[in-house]
Structure 1
Amino acid sequence: MNRTERFYAIEHLLRQQRVVPIAVFLERLCISRSTFTRDIEYLRDRLHAPIVWDREEGGYRFDDPPCEGPAHELPGLWFSAGELYALLAAQKLLSDLEPGILARHIAPLQTRLTGLLEAGGHQAGEIAERVRLLSIAKRHVEPHFFSEIASALLNRKRLEIDAWNRGRDEINRRIVSPQRLIHYRDNWYLDAWCHWRQSLRTFSVDCLKRMTISPDAARDIPPERLDEHLARAYGIFSGQPVDWAVLKFSAERSRWVRYESWHPDQVGEDLPDGSYRLTLPFADTRELLMDILRHGHHVEVESPPSLRDTVAEEANRIAKIYRD
């Protein structure tokens, strides 16, 4: 930890315990005695911390603050990118909830989050104004049966569902055993064992039009099988990979793509001309096609031929709209 983080850790220990021995500081902070001595002197001399050595107790403690003189205040401690995202995302999720039976339970959490955000010396309102989390491609449709899904999932019960297939614009009735809820690209999905198809399927929660919780016990699929089936191929359209996509990005676009994570098993290669080759497994072309097309002429599908043809056909359809 850096010096500012040590200052906060020292103050936290002193507020947690009435007296703290030097050995405890050295163990918790993983520093030498000389570094600790310098930190204590800086806290007392420069930051006016009322820290004193208690000879009888054999440790440091906080003394009563003086009536006169500068007040003790630690310098602002800012967050890492991950910490700030986690705090703001949690705050946003809580603020999006409609008032209901959870309101009185959520209020203390929101207060605590506000306090954490303000630990860096800035008002939470200012942080929210200056730092924004933007949701892209989020479907603003309330999942009507979310609580029922969660209940069946955790109580291990089957569900009878009417699922709307957007592609074919039809309603299909299914009996499913829920396995996992997935929040992906700002939308909720249900991974379930379909008893009609006798295989694992993924359903968009906002496409479920009717639902009944069955008294029958859900079929449990081993976690390793779920991971193998649902996480091996690209994107939300999961399944056993059918092939590997090889994508070549222009030198310009490679400055961004080489830092992106498309899939845990992807392989990247920097080419002599500055371009970038990305190789990843896929089972379904739909989502991969959309992500390829957003890069326009800056990406070329090198293989497999079937994916290359699919992208070319879609590009021709797009071009036809503008030619006509």
Structure 2
Amino acid sequence: MARNEQLIRQHKILQLLEDARYGRTLDEIRDDLITDLGLSKLHERTVRRDIEALQSAGYDLDVETNQRGKVWKLGRVDRGIHKISATATELIALSIGRDLLNPLAGTQYWQGVESFWNKLEEEVPNGVYDHYSKFRETLCVYGVPTKTYEKHAGILRTINRAIVEHRIVEIDYQSPGRAASTRRIEPYGLAIYQSSIYVIAAAEEVEDPKERMRHWKLDRFTKATALDEWFKPDPDVDIQTHLNRSFGIFSGEATESVQIRLSSFGAAWVREDPWHTEQQLDMQPDGGAILTVSSAHPRELMPKLLSLGAEAEVIGPESFRTAVTDVIARLAKTYSVQPAEGQ
């Protein structure tokens, strides 16, 4: 068995015992490991060896006998390492971040956020928490999509495990307007973009290294199975560099430099709400500007362009300008038809 699999199990055992005030039996730990790590089976002896390895590493794991049988607990010393203090300002900042992460509800990430928040509530003095509560009432977070990945929690666990172990994953994937298909992917990592989770993975059947990496939206996964087949990660693939090449979440190594003419009104909006961290905004004598951004596909720029209407004009490359022209023509055709009476 690979060493990283042992480390993953042992880390998960510590998490399970942290959350168990009354401890867990070996059977309960084993069953939770199978569920949370997406395993097909796991012997009780393996769990016992993992616990013994943690004890040898210095973790305070105690066993006691009660009505449920032998129950393992995380000792007080190890629970104490999590005690932290926080100011009212820090609590406000963390609670805002917690609200922004609402779309991750149902995933292990959200469980971690909630667990950490509960620990903070227990540890901070009442006076600090009361001070935080008073000011938090005056600060609201809006605009977070009302979506949840609760139904995808099992799939996400499978993907996470495959990323760490470099396993090939067989997925059932359905894009809007297309029939579902079964694909084999080589997952490298995850990305959160505009409150959606994407799996950054290579399409196994694609040979061109510049075209292999794709971004698979987790919402479109209906099934994911980690196969007993492994892939060798490409050492030239860096997730951060890969994602920073493009304007949005569209995949593709090849990006194009897009120039957009902005009116003075449009330029003011883009200065106020930048489109990209690496955008270039060249101000013009009339108060307008030429905006330059990198993009892998016209569709990722389209929402921004349409939101500004006539205040933004794509001046190059021609393929992007044509794509915008086609959309505008289709919109004009749609709105030229009078709606039927009563509709």
TM-score interval, normalised by the smaller of the two chains: 0.5 to 0.7
Q: Distance in 1 between matches of 2:181 and 2:275?
A: 31
Partner of 2:278: 265
Q: Distance in 2 between matches of 1:217 and 1:122?
A: 52
Q: Does 1:109 align with 2:122?
A: no
Partner of 2:3: none
Partner of 2:83: none
Any conservation in 1 of the 2:103–2:147 contact (CA below 8 Å)? no
> What's the offset of the Cα at 1:219?
3.1
> What's the offset of the Cα at 1:92?
5.9
Larger Rg: 1
Distance 1:232 1:271, change over 3 A: same
Q: Distance in 1 between matches of 2:97 and 2:263?
A: 34
Distance 1:104 1:173, change over 3 A: closer
> What's the offset of the Cα at 1:97?
4.2
Q: Distance in 1 between matches of 2:174 and 2:128?
A: 46
Aligned mate of 1:161, from 171, 193, 199: 171
Partner of 1:134: 142
String of CA shifts for 1:168-213, please: whole Å, max 9, x gaps.
4221211111101111100100000111123111100010011111
Q: Does 1:177 align with 2:186?
A: yes
Partner of 1:213: 226
Distance 1:209 1:92, change over 3 A: same
> What's the offset of the Cα at 1:225?
4.4
Any conservation in 2 of the 1:87–1:113 contact (CA below 8 Å)? no
SS of 1:219's partner is coil
Partner of 1:147: 157
Partner of 1:278: 291
AA at the equivalent of 2:327: E
Partner of 1:187: 196
Any conservation in 2 of the 1:232–1:238 contact (CA below 8 Å)? no
SS of 1:257's partner is helix
Any conservation in 2 of the 1:258–1:276 contact (CA below 8 Å)? no
Paired residues in the alignment total 243
Q: Distance in 2 between matches of 1:149 and 1:249?
A: 42
The unaligned stretches of length 5 or more in structure 2 are 1-86, 338-343
Any conservation in 2 of the 1:138–1:186 contact (CA below 8 Å)? no
Q: Distance in 1 between matches of 2:317 and 2:216?
A: 28
AA at the equivalent of 1:266: Q
The CA RMSD measured in Å over matched residues stands at 3.4
SS of 1:209's partner is strand
Any conservation in 2 of the 1:91–1:113 contact (CA below 8 Å)? no
Q: Distance in 2 between matches of 1:129 and 1:303?
A: 47
Any conservation in 2 of the 1:94–1:106 contact (CA below 8 Å)? no
Q: TM-score, normalised by structure 2?
A: 0.61
Q: Distance in 2 between matches of 1:318 and 1:211?
A: 38
SS of 1:89's partner is helix
Partner of 2:206: 197
Q: Does 1:300 align with 2:313?
A: yes
String of CA shifts for 1:241-297, please: whole Å, max 9, x gaps.
342111122212322202434334321111111112210111111111122111112
Partner of 1:122: 131
- Which deviates more from structure 2 when the two are superposed, residues 188-197 or residues 146-155? 146-155
AA at the equivalent of 1:273: D
Q: Distance in 1 between matches of 2:201 and 2:126?
A: 38
Distance 1:92 1:137, change over 3 A: closer
> What's the offset of the Cα at 1:141?
5.6
Distance 1:127 1:254, change over 3 A: same
Any conservation in 2 of the 1:246–1:280 contact (CA below 8 Å)? yes
Q: Distance in 1 between matches of 2:206 and 2:294?
A: 24
Any conservation in 2 of the 1:89–1:133 contact (CA below 8 Å)? no
AA at the equivalent of 2:141: L
Tell me the percent identity: 23
The unaligned stretches of length 5 or more in structure 1 are 1-76
